[in-house]
């Protein structure tokens, strides 16, 4: 987030410098035409050049800060849905559909006295787990899931981000049955969700106390819907890191594997749920690190989930729709800044009725299309536009109460609010640069 916001600040300053240079050129043209007095014009030129120089110095400082930030960051971009496909497929089972679902709530994972998936000392048969595997199919996104054995019974487990953004979801199993959630449980501060299916289904055992029962280098397998192909595949690897809430592995899971169980070969139990990757491009003294130019893969632990929050499916969908709308509008503001930094606005990019800035851009276009209105008129039109865009940027998030949201959606909204406030500041600064050019 810090890297993203620093980039936005640089973008805003560059946009401001572009307009200052444009105003300076217009003023020089006026001098040549003797529209203004030489003394007044020179004073104005000196002011503009001074402002321009200061902004260029700020850009240079921010670029240095950006370089430092990139050096200190271990990653440049985090992606929820993973990239790079290099998977080892073992066996595949096609799926079918039909039937509905009940819905109690999960508690801490325990090891049942008897297990449908016996532990192993060095190898396991992936076929023993296929009856617990599910393909998550939504109207927008797909992923993986599995039946996990909790203290109060079996529940389907997947990532919150696999469910979020879908209006409808089905979990499809190997025997042809399918289940859709009425209510779901979402883990506090973790990208994990669960819902009830059939209480007679056999759940995969969850390993307790992973910090003591798992070691770096232990073999694991990942079972799931690799690339969203609608079949269960196996990917092998080992544990490369253990944290309070996460396990890092080197099994190269890919898009579609979000929600897949990470099975510990030694015990035959689940130690985590495949969730996200981090891609790192390091610079400076860190460029020789083993973490440079690599994709790191992480799974959330299920043995350390602090609490679960229950939410009805309808409310979950409403929260996700709000998040997606704000994300989309935020991207449109970023596109505007990118346009300005490149030298002007591409009017045709803002004619779609769904564009949040359409009316503002259209109004500016009409004002700038008027002929012979005088220099101040055009500067004032631009200043007014950027100020209005700044106000528009914060309008949606003003008074936004995220306290009732599940933690996954709340985290996304908090990031959006931070980014919007930064964009609004940049737009306001560009507006002020127009005013200072009068």
For residue range 309-358, list pLDDT tens digits in order: 999 999 999 999 999 999 999 999 999 999 998 888 889 889 999 999 99
pLDDT score at 71: 44
CATH code that applies to domain 126-306: 2.40.10.120
* Alpha-carbon span 235 to 353, nearest angstrom: 44
With bands split at pLDDT 50, 70 and 90, how would you rate the model's confidence at 271?
very high
Q: Which residue has the tokens 């001074």?
A: 50
Mean pLDDT within 418-425: 96
Q: At what angle do helices 375-395 and 358-368 cross, to 10 degrees?
A: 180
Q: Is the pLDDT of residue 89 over 70?
A: no
Please give the mean pLDDT across all residues of the chain: 79
With bands split at pLDDT 50, 70 and 90, how would you rate the model's confidence at 119?
very low
26: left (phi over 0), alpha (psi -120 to 50) or beta: alpha
| Lowest-confidence segment of 68-72, 77-81, 192-196, 377-381 by average pLDDT | 77-81
Which residues lie closer than 8 Å to 105 by C-beta, 6 or more apart? Answer: 152, 185, 308, 310
With bands split at pLDDT 50, 70 and 90, how would you rate the model's confidence at 259?
very high
pLDDT score at 86: 31
pLDDT score at 54: 64
pLDDT score at 166: 96
* Alpha-carbon span 400 to 413, nearest angstrom: 9
Nearest to 158 by CA among 131, 187, 183: 187
Mean pLDDT within 59-77: 49
Q: Are 284 and 161 in contact (CB under 8 A)?
A: no
* Alpha-carbon span 268 to 115, nearest angstrom: 10
* Alpha-carbon span 272 to 239, nearest angstrom: 11
Q: Which residue has the higher pLDDT, 206 or 379?
A: 206
Mean pLDDT within 121-145: 88
Q: Are 14 and 59 in contact (CB under 8 A)?
A: yes
* Alpha-carbon span 261 to 269, nearest angstrom: 9
Q: Is the pLDDT of residue 88 over 50?
A: no
With bands split at pLDDT 50, 70 and 90, how would you rate the model's confidence at 99?
very low
With bands split at pLDDT 50, 70 and 90, how would you rate the model's confidence at 62?
low
| Lowest-confidence segment of 53-57, 295-299, 320-324 by average pLDDT | 53-57
Mean pLDDT within 13-28: 55
Q: Is the pLDDT of residue 19 over 70?
A: no
What is the domain partition of the chain in residue ranges?
2-73+313-435, 126-306
- DSSP reduced 3-state for 53: helix
Mean pLDDT within 91-102: 30
DSSP 205: P
pLDDT score at 69: 47
* Alpha-carbon span 258 to 224, nearest angstrom: 8
Q: Is the pLDDT of residue 288 over 70?
A: no
pLDDT score at 3: 45
214-242 residue pLDDT tens: 999 999 999 999 998 889 999 999 999 99
* Alpha-carbon span 418 to 287, nearest angstrom: 30
With bands split at pLDDT 50, 70 and 90, how would you rate the model's confidence at 152?
confident
Task: Indicate whether this model's pTM tops 0.95.
Answer: no
Mean pLDDT within 34-56: 63
* Alpha-carbon span 69 to 75, nearest angstrom: 10
244-258 residue pLDDT tens: 999 999 999 998 999
pLDDT score at 402: 87
pLDDT score at 127: 87
* Alpha-carbon span 224 to 200, nearest angstrom: 22
Q: Are 155 and 195 in contact (CB under 8 A)?
A: yes
358-412 residue pLDDT tens: 999 999 999 989 887 876 898 899 999 999 999 999 999 998 888 889 999 999 9
């Amino acid at each position: 987030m810090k890297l993203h916001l620093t980039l936005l600040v640089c973008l805003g300053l560059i946009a401001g410098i572009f307009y200052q240079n444009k105003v300076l050129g217009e003023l020089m043209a006026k001098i040549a035409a003797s529209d203004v007095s030489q003394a007044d014009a020179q004073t104005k030129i000196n002011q503009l050049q001074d402002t321009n120089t200061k902004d260029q110095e700020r850009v240079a400082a921010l670029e240095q800060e950006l370089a430092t930030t990139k050096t200190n960051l271990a990653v440049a971009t985090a992606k929820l849905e993973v990239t790079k496909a290099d998977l080892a497929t073992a066996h595949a089972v096609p799926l079918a559909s039909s039937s509905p679902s009940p819905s109690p709530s999960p508690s801490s994972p325990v090891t049942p006295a008897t297990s449908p998936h016996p532990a192993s000392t060095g190898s396991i048969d992936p076929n023993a787990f296929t009856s617990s595997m599910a393909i998550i199919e939504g109207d927008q996104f797909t992923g993986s899931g599995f039946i996990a054995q909790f203290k109060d019974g079996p529940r389907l487990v997947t990532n919150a981000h696999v469910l979020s953004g879908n209006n409808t979801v089905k979990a499809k199993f190997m025997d042809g049955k399918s289940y859709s959630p009425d209510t779901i449980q979402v883990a506090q501060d973790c990208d994990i969700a669960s819902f009830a299916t059939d209480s007679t289904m056999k759940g995969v055992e969850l390993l307790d106390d992973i910090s003591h029962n798992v070691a770096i280098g232990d073999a694991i397998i990942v079972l799931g819907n690799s690339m969203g192909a609608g079949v269960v595949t196996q990917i092998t690897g080992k544990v490369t890191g253990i944290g309070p809430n996460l396990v890092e592995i080197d099994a190269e899971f890919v898009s579609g594997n979000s929600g897949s169980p990470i099975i510990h070969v030694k015990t035959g139990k689940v130690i985590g749920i495949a969730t996200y990757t981090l891609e790192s491009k390091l610079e400076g003294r860190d460029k020789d690190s083993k973490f440079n130019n690599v994709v790191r893969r992480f799974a959330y632990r299920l043995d350390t989930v602090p609490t679960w929050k229950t939410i009805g499916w309808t409310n979950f969908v409403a929260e996700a729709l709000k998040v997606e709308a704000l994300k989309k509008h935020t991207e449109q503001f970023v596109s505007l800044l990118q346009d300005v930094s490149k030298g002007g606005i591409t009017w045709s990019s803002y004619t779609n009725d769904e564009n949040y800035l359409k009316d503002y851009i259209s109004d500016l276009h009409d004002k700038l299309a008027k002929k012979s209105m005088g220099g101040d008129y055009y500067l004032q039109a631009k200043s007014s536009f950027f100020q209005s865009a700044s106000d528009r940027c914060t309008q949606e998030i003003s008074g936004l109460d995220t306290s009732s949201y599940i933690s996954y959606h709340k985290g996304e909204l908090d990031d959006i609010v931070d980014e919007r406030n930064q964009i609004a500041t940049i737009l306001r600064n560009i507006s002020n640069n127009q005013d200072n050019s009068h």
